[in-house]
Structure 1
Amino acid sequence: MFDRSRLREQTATFEAEFVDCVFLGHVRSMNFWGRPADRDQAVLGRDHNDFTGNDFTAAELDDVSFRHIDLRAQRFPGLPGYALLDRIIERARAVLPLVDSWPDERHRKEARSALEFLADTAREWDDDQALVSPARMGRKLPPALREELFAAFRRTTSDTSPD
């Protein structure tokens, strides 16, 4: 159990297991891994890290990623700031016409890059699902465009976030 603990200067949790933990406050620049690195699996005696039942509802997640973790087995903050979504690749394709309608090429390029990164990481590490926030839509976009893209992204296919 972690009580009043800080994961300072931790950026990756290749060997750590988190079960029924509660995360509060600012969680920044973390990669949570559901699998140990290949080189560590024999030493640890396992090929996966338990990561289930964790509560992030009172956390502010900034540049946090989940790799090979069942996101639906966790509790996350909901709208307006976050949405747990499936079919990320399909959603990214579906919002491209919106992005292409923007007049500023820099904004279109930033959004396309963010969508490509989001789709690639969801495909590679998270079974085509992701915890999405306006910041994941493109940090360099003006806030109004991030919010517009986030809303459009949520509206496509199935949104599993509570309203």
Structure 2
Amino acid sequence: MAGEQGNRLVVEHEEVVGVDYSVQGLTGLVGVGARFERCRFDGLRFQDVALGSGMELSQYVGCSFDGAVLTGTAGYSRFVGCTFRDAEIRGLKADYLELVDCVFTGRIRSTTFWGAPPPGSAERFTSNLAFLEKQGRAEPRGYRALALRESNEIHGNDLSGADLVGVDFRHGVDLTRQRLPTGTDYLYLPDAEAALQRALAPLVDRPADDLTARVERSLRRMLDREVGTGQRQLLFREVDYSSKGVLKPYARLMFDLVREAAASGS
């Protein structure tokens, strides 16, 4: 079923092929067990999306979101061969988002891409089952596999032309299978654990002051929170550690140490 609620498009359990939504002035998009193929959402300014709402998978295949603005929740959604040229993605909650062979330019801001569902997913699944039981509703077909899957499929994506601000890759996103930005303020670590360990070593020869302590805490936090949860490669950007365009002192030292460590291991 498809319908519009105001300027909000809601598609439930339907396959939509070749529809140009870009002329409809939509500000919201909700997919529930939906499949969109070769649809256009170009230039739309979505104030809130629920791309894969409910407890079912929604799929977007060969669709274009060129020039669009997206914010909201990805939910259980999968994008294959889609384009986001000159798009802006803001604060998208992407716990179960899957991306395959998609192209991004424009800006992605304050978004985390997860190679596996984040901590607490199993607990949320159990809680949702209890909620359904109280309502006398059956567990939706396929929901268990979605909620408890071990990984999200993310590969073949081209982010080389995107401006990444406050973007993280966690829990095993294989960055060797993506095209990444290569600007001078980006720092890519193909072997994050080794590079961070090498960056820690020179700190033992520095004064035991607040600056040294803060850098050490930051590096060890990355080893624990990022590498320790399965993220083998890391991508940093200086702008994420800047204030009013100026890199913070601890961040300057940290970047210097990590750049040197990365260079020595290459």
Match of 1:110 in 2: 214
Match of 2:101 in 1: 20
TM-superposed CA distance for 1:34, in Å, is: 2.5
RMSD of aligned Cα (Å): 3.0
Q: Could you say what secondary structure the match of 2:249 adopts?
A: coil
Q: Could you say what secondary structure the match of 1:76 adopts?
A: coil
Which amino acid letter does the alignment assign opposite residue 22 of structure 1? V
Match of 1:4 in 2: 67
Which amino acid letter does the alignment assign opposite residue 151 of structure 1? R
Per-residue CA deviations over 1:41-68 (Å, capped at 9, x if unaligned) read x517442322111111122222211122
Which amino acid letter does the alignment assign opposite residue 179 of structure 2? R
Moved more, 134-143 or 87-96: 134-143
Residues 8-157 of structure 1: matches in 2 within 5 Å? Answer: 8-9=71-72, 10-36=91-117, 37-38=121-122, 39=125, 42-43=142-143, 45-46=145-146, 47=149, 48-67=151-170, 68-103=172-207, 105-120=209-224, 121-126=226-231, 128-134=232-238, 140-141=248-249, 144-157=252-265
Gap regions ≥5 residues in structure 2: 1-62, 73-90, 129-141
Q: Is the 8 A contact 2:195 2:258 kept in 1?
A: no
Moved more, 44-53 or 18-27: 44-53
Q: What is the number of residues matched between the two proteins?
A: 156
TM-superposed CA distance for 1:97, in Å, is: 3.5
Which amino acid letter does the alignment assign opposite residue 62 of structure 1? V
TM-superposed CA distance for 1:143, in Å, is: 6.3
TM-superposed CA distance for 1:86, in Å, is: 3.1
Q: Is the 8 A contact 1:137 1:149 kept in 2?
A: no
**Shift in alpha-carbon separation, 1:146–1:58, aligned structure 2, 3 A:** farther
Q: Is the 8 A contact 2:176 2:190 kept in 1?
A: no
Per-residue CA deviations over 1:112-139 (Å, capped at 9, x if unaligned) read 122112212122131x321233467897
TM-superposed CA distance for 1:72, in Å, is: 0.9
- Greater helix share, structure number: 1
Q: Could you say what secondary structure the match of 1:99 adopts?
A: helix
Instruction: Answer with 1 or 2: which has the greater Rg.
Output: 2
TM-score by length of 1: 0.75
- Greater strand share, structure number: 2
Distance 1:56 1:123 in 2: 25
Q: Is the 8 A contact 2:160 2:180 kept in 1?
A: yes
**Shift in alpha-carbon separation, 1:148–1:83, aligned structure 2, 3 A:** closer
Gap regions ≥5 residues in structure 1: 159-163
**Shift in alpha-carbon separation, 1:73–1:114, aligned structure 2, 3 A:** same
Distance 2:107 2:210 in 1: 30
Match of 1:161 in 2: none
Q: Is the 8 A contact 1:137 1:146 kept in 2?
A: no
